[in-house]
Every structure is written in C-alpha cells, then in structure tokens.
Structure 1
Amino acid sequence: MQARLLLEDGTLLIGKSFGSTKEMTGEVVFNTGITGYQEVLSDPSYCGQIVTMTYPLIGNYGINRDDFEALRPYIHGFIVREHEDVPSNWRAEYTLDALLKEYDIPGIQGIDTRMLTRKIRHHGTMKGILTTSNEPVEALMDRLNQSSLLRDQVSRVSTKNVFSAPGHKERVVLVDFGSKSGILKDLVKRGCDVVVVPHTVTADEIRKLNPDGILLSNGPGDPKDVPHAVQMVREIIGEYPLFGICLGHQLFALASGADTEKLKFGHRGGNHPVQELASGRCYITSQNHGYTVKEDSIAGTDLEVTHINNNDKTIEGLKHKKAPAFSVQYHPEAAPGPYDSSYLFDDFLTMIRDYKQNNPQPPRQAQLAAAAAKGELQYAQK
C-alpha cells in the first residue's frame, strides 16, 4: 500500500506503507543511530514525533521483549529507507511491522531518507503528516496546518502511580518525566532502593519519602511546558543530592535561574562527542533532545558548565557551585549507545555518600519528624 509523507513546507514524499495505516501528524526529526531502533521506538522522549532513521536498513534483527525502554512506544510515526520484514537474530520474537501494528503506529519505507535528513538539517524540524489516504495534497495540507504539536507530552508518558524497585543501599527518588527503563536498571544494578514518582510530585511529597538523593529523568518536549516541575526542583536544590538527565538537566537549569531554547534540528543518535572541560577528555554519547540550555543565561546563576558538545558547542553538562547537584544533557544509561558515561551514576552515589557523611542530621529529618507528628509516617516510610 502506498504511503505519503507531507511536510509543512509542501515537500511530498511517496513510499510504501508498513505498520499501521492510521494517519498521524507530528514533528519530523531524525536519529543517526546505526542500531537500537527498538530502544528508539520505545523511548518516551519521542512522544509526538515522527522519527526518521538515517541508517538505511531497519528491522533486520527484529523485536524482543527485553530491550523496550517503556511499556509501549509513544512515537507518532516511523520513517526508514528499507524495512526488513524477515529478521534474523536468535533474540527476535516478532517483527518491526508487527510492533507498529500492535500499537497503531504508521510507518513509511522506500523514500530518500538522506534527502529528508538534509532538508531537516537545513530548514530545521517541521510538522508532517503521514498517511495512506489518496486525498489531494491540498486536503492533507489543510489538515496539517490545522494541527498543532503536542505540549502535554510529559503528562502522557509519566507514570501515574508511585512504585518502587527495592534495594539495600541508597534510596533514590526517580522523578519520571518519561524515564527510560535503562535509568532504573542502572540504579538497581548499583543496589539502590528506587522510588519512582510521577512528574506532578511536589517537594513536600518527596520529603515524605525520606530519600538520600533525587534523579530527574529524561522526557519529551519543552521543559517550559512543565513549570510545576521547575518549581519542585527549585525547592529541593541544596536539600538533597540531585542528578538530572536530559529533560531533567534542562529543568535543573531553569530552576537555577538559567534559560533554555529550541535547537534547529536537535541531537538524536548514539555518536555525539562531548568534552568534559575539567579533564579535556572526549566522550561519545547517546542523545535525544530538541532543546538546550542557553549559554549566555548561565551568567549570574550558581551554575557552572562542565561539558560541551564538540559539534555545535552547546552545553552538555552543569553543576551547582554551592549545592550537591549536577546534570548532563546526554544519556549515561546508553540504551542504545556507548557506555562511556555510565560512571556518572557512580559519581551520583559518591556525591550522596559524601553528603550524608558531612550532614549526619540533614534538614529532612526534622521534616520527617513533622510528618510523623501528623500521622503521615506510614506514607513517608514506603
């Protein structure tokens, strides 16, 4: 069946449909990863986007149950040069086509993905509509113009309920803005007692959980679309050791007085070089974001830049000058991607232990006692 991709600038690309035949609109972006298409598909940070894979052959090793980064995909469409419907891998349980059909996600193959990627790099990301309809282009363009990009992605992908992954070491509250399962796995692997909370969590609710540290997860969209999260982070900076990843990095920056802006076409892939300023060392990183912290907004804040992107010199890492808090724009859990930066989880736990050693009676103890006096201790100890 024929499928068509129409961009808001009028560009029409005609290919072959696979996956669902549902018509979808979204922001058309590209990912430069050679492998890891299953993790890309299931990364909640792609919520509302139509993803172009620059590697030409996708689907060749199938889909398995172990490599999902969320319980379900949230992307609005998948664009590939060539889709392989007969995968060959001992871990494969079903095909990419079957996955897209199961979650009603449309796909298009057989188009010039190199040309599309160059167009996005030149003009920036843009809205697109992916359809199998035979309607005139004018009718499709009318629908595309009347559509708008999502602004509530975080609420769509964040957990609705508190849940835990018990461990015997430090208690970490993981604030889920669209967290990849790789982040939780890295914490559990290190023995952490992890409590995962929704994006709507307040500072007081975090205090009742009596954490040793806070991790702000990745997530989709514009950080300014979740102002309640900025306020929450502002209240807890300095009270607990804090680590921000991707969207969590941007929220940490906003809460500290800096600003963010949209990138022309973003960073998405597993091969982005990042320099650590203190050592001069270059790390190859996994990234997926469309926004960045503005460099000129750092002045006058308590933030210090720790990492920069070697390609476009955008900010990739921050730390607080006074509080035990740092963040990175890239993904240290590397799913998919290189494992160069997994040490950041160890740095986070070292920061927690140093903080506890230097603050044997942190302020949260008084808050916990107040919670107990109000009969809230049962919740606080969960």
Structure 2
Amino acid sequence: KITSEAGILPRTHGSALFTRGETQCLAVVTLGTVEDEQRIDSLEGEFKKAFMLHYNFPSFSVGEVRPMRGPGRREIGHGILAERALKAILPLRSDFPYTIRIVADILESNGSSSMATVCGGTLALMDAGVPIRSAVAGIAMGLIKEGDRTVILTDILGLEDHLGDMDFKVTGTKEGITAFQMDVKISGVSKEIMGKALERARLGRLHILDKMSEELSAPRDTLATYAPRIFTMQIKPDKIRDVIGPGGKVIRGIVEETGVKINVDDDGNINIASADEASAQKAMDIIKGIVAEAELGKLYMGKIKRIMDFGAFVEILPGTEGLLHISQIAEERIAKVTDVLKEGQEILVKVIEIDKTGRIRLSRKEAIKEQAPVKS
C-alpha cells in the first residue's frame, strides 16, 4: 500500500509523509538565501552547494535501541543518491535563487528507505512551492539467480535485499531516469537481466508517481507562507562599489534600515531576501537611487551642496552632482547667486548637458518653463 500526505507539518516551508508498505519517510524542505549555501572544502578546492539532502536513519525505524551518533557511511551514501535523483528536476538557479535543504527522517524501514526519501522529497518540494520540472519517484529492484534461472523482484523488502543477489535502485520521472545505483553479490549481470529490471522499474515508478499525484500533482502556485521572499535586480558592475560603500558602510545601512538580507555578486546581480515584500521593495528603491544615472532632458528635485560665485553645485542623485550656472538660475539677470539660492535648499532642475567626461550641466529656468504649463 502506498500513501502520501503533503503539508503534514504546519510551520515548515514544505513537508510530506510518504509511506510504502512498511517503509515510511518524513521529508522537510527549508528554503534559504545565498548566505545559507553549504561551503565544502574538498581535495579539489572549496565550493558551495545550493541544494542539500540530509538523510537520517534512526535505530527505532528498525525496532532497535542504539545511541544517536553522527551519520554513518550508509546514511551519507543514501543521502547522496537521493540528492542526485532530485537535483535533476530542480529549477535553474537564475529562475529560483534559493538555497534548498531537504531533511529526510526514516520513521520505519522494511524496504528501500532511500527510494522512499526520493518520493517524500519530491512531495515536500512541491508543497514548498519549488517549481520543479517534474515529479520523481524511486524503486528498488532485486534479483535471485541460481545457475541459468533468474527471478527479478520489484520493490524488495529487507529480507529480499539480504538474501538476494542484487539491489538495483532506479529513480526517475515519467520521461526518464534521473539516477540509479546497483549493488551485486554475483560476478555480473547480463544485458538481458539489466533490460528487464529497468523495464519493470519503469512500470513500478509510473505506478508510484500516479499514487503521489493523487495527493499533489504539481508544485503549489505560491511559495510557502513562512519562506523568505527573494527579489533580484541587475546593476552595472562598475556601480557595485557604490552600493557596497567604503568598508561596506552603504550596504550595511540599507540592511539596518530595511531589515533585509542583500547579496551582490561580481556580475552585478543583486539578491534581496526579506520576510515581506514591502521591505524588499524599499531596499530595491534605495539601491536604484544609488545606481541611477542622470538622463539628458530629465527633471530632478536636487539639493544645493555648494554655492560658488559662478553658480551652484546641485546633487540630483545620491553621489551625483551637476553645475547650475548663474545664467541658468532664472530668466532675469542675477548679480549674486546667494540672492536667490542658499546651501541645503531643494530646487527643481533640468539636465541640459552631459559631456564626454560625465560632467553635468543643469538649468533651473528650463525646469521652471517645463513645469509652468503643468501648474496652470
């Protein structure tokens, strides 16, 4: 008997309980940001993982009492197999910039718990709203061989695994295989046996997928309620230093003001993670203001930073100033700039020129002319 239940835990990002006969798996999905990626220091150097599956096999699942220790070789191996099976159907990182962690706890076991993990993991991902490409299921095939006589077993139990000659785990979608692993106790397996085992595994897999679809046939339309919201935006690479600021001062200020998490990569991709959309939008607006560039012919509400004899320097964008010449302050002739303007005053100006070096010339009288019809 096969049963599935998605969303079994109320506070998690995604969860599912998958039961196949006397084997049961509780899978829980947690979504995180880029900062939550697993850092691994291997012989080939350090790298990061955005998708992790951790498989736990407590002793009570097989009716034993043993102390709880760290994961053994078997648990690590089963976790890697299930992780490989599910990794094939995950969305592209550019489309779904989340770190995904699945924790699979085996509650009872008399059969392939790693294949139950694949099924439970698929349902938990869909429950979390992860836009996976297709559902994945897994099944373990067995073999008993005596001379020329062979019997292929489907969905083997623990005893059949122990006494049999083969443990062939196959995972996949309705379209094809995503992962497999074979353990044999005999000298080899012929192509004929392999072909039959794969075909029967396909039929078994399709049956399990149909049972799973009765509970949840596609990912939920919206992301889990308690999952962080990640918004992405692109800036020019040469603007990265403006967003980060000296010693990270600017980006820390944005984080403190909005309460979001911000990650900026070398290509100018920015990920903003927040529990609510309003905070993320506020952070995005601040960043847009920082990286914005002056546009020719556009009106800006600027702030006078410095007054000179020949005019005034007006900040029209954060860190961007332009020169307002004395001749562009008003229609009438002005003897002294300070007769009309003062430092700290906010005025409406228009960008009338941007030269090759990026220097900006502004006009107050042109801005007033352009606004006059609107005011009337």
Greater relative contact order: 1 or 2 (C-alpha under 8 angstroms, separation 6 or more)?
A: 1
Structure having the larger proportion of residues in strand: 2
- TM-score normalised by length of structure 1: 0.22
- TM-score normalised by length of structure 2: 0.22
Higher Rg: 2
